Structure 1
Amino acid sequence: MLDLSVIVLTYNEEIHIRRCLENVNLFAAKVFVVDCFSTDRTAQIARELGAEVVEHEWPGNQAEQFNWALDNLPIQTEWVLRLDADEYATLELIQEIRKELPVMKENVSAVVFPLGRAFMGRRLRHGIVNGIKMVRLFRNGCVRYEQRLMDEHLMILKGETVAFQYQFVDDNLNSIKYFIDKHNTYSSKEAALLLDAEFYLSDELEEGSSDFCEEVREKREQKRRYARLPLFWRAFGYFFYRYIVKLGFLDGKEGFLWDFLQGWWYRTLVDAKVFEIKKACGNDKSKMRQYLLDKYNITL
């Protein structure tokens, strides 16, 4: 096994946890499951598969929970891999990790993986699914999660970053209802972030961009450009880009549903909330902050 520990954050992930742990048990020396007192069989299954389960109350966001894990788990390996319960490494990525990790240069502290996507049981090959990359593998003590409303990323505290070729896959097995409910919650946070990008609602501007990998900096710049585009038209344009220009239609019905729901419906819902807040508050920053707090329990 590799000199590598895996950390998985969970709450009621019975539907996913077996697949995730059987996957990482192929190459990891140690697996930690940080659970938030699940009421299903998540913890039981994790223990059956050899993981060390640590119960810890949800602090409010995954960044804080993961930073707590880094600070408190008895991690003794040189390398750490972070996966969600609904994610897994492809066999090609596992082979790449096995080959590259033991001979990694000492100045390298983090590794970027491409993100693969499956939706409703189908691996998606087109649209924008091949353009997203994330730091998920790193030397212990060299990274930390930023504190952010959503889309948190790992900050590189020291050392260089390299990119691997093969993907890890996000493959959530829950129902469409789960998807809709989750993205309704996300849309409120996304609306707040777009308003922040336009009106500078938060107390501090984003700093320390050099602490992120190049892929994160590019994604943040794309979001800033997106925030300046016209409401509603930008959501349609994003769907058109994904589904037509990037050939999302080649992924069949599942590809249409993914690009429509996550690309158009979700982005239109975000814009509807931005529109609602602007109608209620005008350009008054203090009113916007209070509205977000009162209506969505969001503090900027």
Structure 2
Amino acid sequence: MLDLSVIILTYNEEIHIRRCLENVNQFAAKVFVVDCFSTDRTAQIARELGAEVIEHEWPGNQAEQFNWALDHLPIRTEWVLRLDADEYLLPELVDELQNKLPSLPKDVNGIIFNRRHIFMEKWMKRGIYPVKLLRVFRFGKGMCEQRLMDEHIQLTEGCAVEFEYDFCDHNLNDLSWFCHKHVNYAIREAVDLLDIELDLTGAAEADENKNISQQALAKRRKKHKYVRQPLFWRSFAYFCYRYFLKGACLDGKVGFIWTFLQGWWYRTLVDAKVFEIKKACGNDKGKMKQYLLDKYDITL
């Protein structure tokens, strides 16, 4: 087994947790499942498969929950892998991890994987693939950046290397669940865009100093440009970019559904939320912060 612990955050993930744990049990010395008092069989299945289950109330976002886990779990391995319950490593990546991890230089404190999305049982090969994410880091050398959306693992020191092979984001829920999830995401993404535009938190310009993947930094720079584009037009343009220029149109009907829902419908919903908030508050930052607290229980 590798000198590596896996941390998985869960809430009602019985549909995914067995697949995830059977995957990581192939190579991980220790697996921690940080559960938010699931009402299904998530915790029971996790314990049956040898994971240590810790119940902890949801603090409001992924970053706080993951950083709480880093601070409070009895992690004794050199390396940590962050994984979601609906994710798993492909066999080629498992082999690569086993072959390369023990011999990495001491100045390498992070490993970047390629994430592929499996949607409606089809690999979305075009549009946004590959998404490069820093998911493995030396314990004590990384943490999750504090963001409402699109949070990444950032290194506190050292550098990261990229591995060749993929892990999968493969959610087994239906389209209704997928759409509902994005409705919930939309307000947080809207706040993220408003923060970039109006500097609600004073942290909008700090991204360049973060030790995250270069792809993540490039995405943040593009988001800063995206914010300056007209509402609603930008969501349509983003869809066209992914569907036509990035080739998602070649992924058939499923590729259209994926790109339309995630690249246009969701982005239009985000813009509608931005429009709604500005309609109520204008560009008054103080009023906007109070509005977000009162209506959505979001504290900035």
Normalised TM-score (structure 1): 0.95
Determine whether 1:38 maps to 2:76.
no
What does 1:74-113 correspond to in 2, within 5 Å? 74-113=74-113
Residue 132 of structure 2 is matched in structure 1 by: 133
Residue 217 of structure 2 is matched in structure 1 by: 217
Superposed displacement of residue 229, structure 1: 0.9
2:196–2:204 CA contact under 8 A, matched in 1:
no
Q: State the aligned residue count.
A: 299
SS of the equivalent of 1:244 reads helix
Residue 164 of structure 1 is matched in structure 2 by: 163
**Where does structure 1 lack aligned partners over 5 or more consecutive residues?**
none
Measure the CA separation in 1 of the matches of 2:11 and 2:276. 33
Determine whether 1:72 maps to 2:96.
no
Residue 14 of structure 2 is matched in structure 1 by: 14
Superposed displacement of residue 45, structure 1: 0.8
Residue 272 of structure 1 is matched in structure 2 by: 272
Superposed displacement of residue 203, structure 1: 4.3
What does 1:234-253 correspond to in 2, within 5 Å? 234-253=234-253
Which amino acid in 1 is paired with 2:173?
N
Measure the CA separation in 1 of the matches of 2:203 and 2:247. 39
Residue 58 of structure 2 is matched in structure 1 by: 58
Q: Quick one: percent identity of the two aligned structures? A: 64
What does 1:196-235 correspond to in 2, within 5 Å? 196-207=195-206, 209-213=208-212, 214-235=214-235
Superposed displacement of residue 62, structure 1: 1.3
Which amino acid in 1 is paired with 2:26?
L
Which amino acid in 1 is paired with 2:87?
E
Which amino acid in 2 is paired with 1:16?
H
Which amino acid in 2 is paired with 1:259?
T
SS of the equivalent of 1:83 reads strand
Superposed displacement of residue 221, structure 1: 0.8
Cα-to-partner distance string for 1:195-224 (whole Å, 9 max, x where unaligned): 111111224444263332222221211111
Residue 178 of structure 2 is matched in structure 1 by: 179
Measure the CA separation in 1 of the matches of 2:254 and 2:106. 42
Superposed displacement of residue 101, structure 1: 0.4
2:77–2:139 CA contact under 8 A, matched in 1:
yes
Which amino acid in 2 is paired with 1:239?
F
SS of the equivalent of 2:60 reads coil
SS of the equivalent of 1:165 reads strand
Measure the CA separation in 2 of the matches of 1:248 and 1:203. 36
- Of 281-290 and 269-278, deviating more is 281-290
The 1:44–1:127 alpha-carbon spacing in structure 2 relative to 1, beyond 3 Å, is same
**Where does structure 2 lack aligned partners over 5 or more consecutive residues?**
none
Superposed displacement of residue 7, structure 1: 0.8
Residue 2 of structure 1 is matched in structure 2 by: 2
SS of the equivalent of 2:164 reads coil
Residue 294 of structure 1 is matched in structure 2 by: 294
Measure the CA separation in 1 of the matches of 2:207 and 2:253. 41
Superposed displacement of residue 193, structure 1: 1.3
Measure the CA separation in 1 of the matches of 2:285 and 2:32. 43
- Of 202-211 and 92-101, deviating more is 202-211
Superposed displacement of residue 225, structure 1: 0.8
Cα-to-partner distance string for 1:17-75 (whole Å, 9 max, x where unaligned): 00101111111111111111111111111111111111112122111111111111111
Which amino acid in 2 is paired with 1:112?
I
The 1:10–1:236 alpha-carbon spacing in structure 2 relative to 1, beyond 3 Å, is same
Superposed displacement of residue 268, structure 1: 0.4
Cα-to-partner distance string for 1:99-145 (whole Å, 9 max, x where unaligned): 11011111100011111101111111111122x21110011110011
- Of 103-112 and 281-290, deviating more is 281-290
Which amino acid in 2 is paired with 1:102?
P
